């Protein structure tokens, strides 16, 4: 939850700094990148974390991958020089746009679902949890039947 708050705070601060003159505005895109990465990683933890369990190794690997790809992709797009008419194209797009579309947009969309699938049994639902859920549902159904009769 701390990462989620820090990410939102960094993004809000980046928007605020963008309106200031001078060097403060130059810091804004870097704060935005840090906030986006922190927010994405925090949302993954919130979606996968189960009480009393550590994050599965496949999810941790996916999070490191996301950190490197998204953080590195945004940083590279910020550092690359401006495009000109003679600039090379990467897979039909200017370099910075290709980094955003293929690297930050497409690559995580291909890898992260695989990480979730590999860790599904240990992270989301295992046999003991499923049996517990079924017994609780049966108990609730019997209580409902007792009240309706």
Q: Which residues of the chain have pLDDT under 70?
A: 122-125, 149
What is the pLDDT at residue 146? 78
What is the pLDDT at residue 112? 82
Do the Cβ atoms of 29 and 14 come closer than 8 Å?
Answer: yes
What is the pLDDT at residue 91? 85
Place of tokens 């998204």: 70
Six token digits for residue 99? 């980094």
List strand residue ranges (DSSP E) for 22-141, in order: 89-90, 93-94
Q: Where are the domains of the chain?
A: 2-148
What is the pLDDT at residue 13? 93
pLDDT tens digits, one per residue of 47-85: 777 777 778 888 888 889 888 988 998 898 889 888 888
Total-model pTM: 0.72
Beta bridge partners of 34: none
């Amino acid at each position: 939850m701390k990462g989620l708050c820090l990410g939102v705070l960094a993004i809000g601060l980046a928007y605020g700094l963008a309106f200031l003159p001078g060097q403060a505005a130059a810091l804004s895109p870097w704060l935005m990148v840090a906030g986006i990465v922190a927010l994405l990683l925090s949302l993954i933890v919130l979606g996968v974390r189960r009480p009393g369990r550590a994050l599965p190794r496949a999810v941790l690997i996916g999070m490191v991958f996301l950190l490197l790809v998204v953080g590195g992709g945004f940083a590279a797009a910020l550092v690359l020089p401006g495009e000109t008419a003679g600039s090379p194209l990467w897979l039909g797009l200017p370099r910075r746009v290709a980094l955003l579309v293929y690297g930050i947009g497409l690559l995580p969309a291909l890898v992260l679902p695989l990480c979730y699938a590999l860790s599904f049994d240990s992270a989301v639902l295992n046999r003991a949890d499923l049996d517990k859920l079924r017994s609780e549902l049966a108990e609730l159904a019997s209580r409902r039947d007792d009240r309706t009769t």
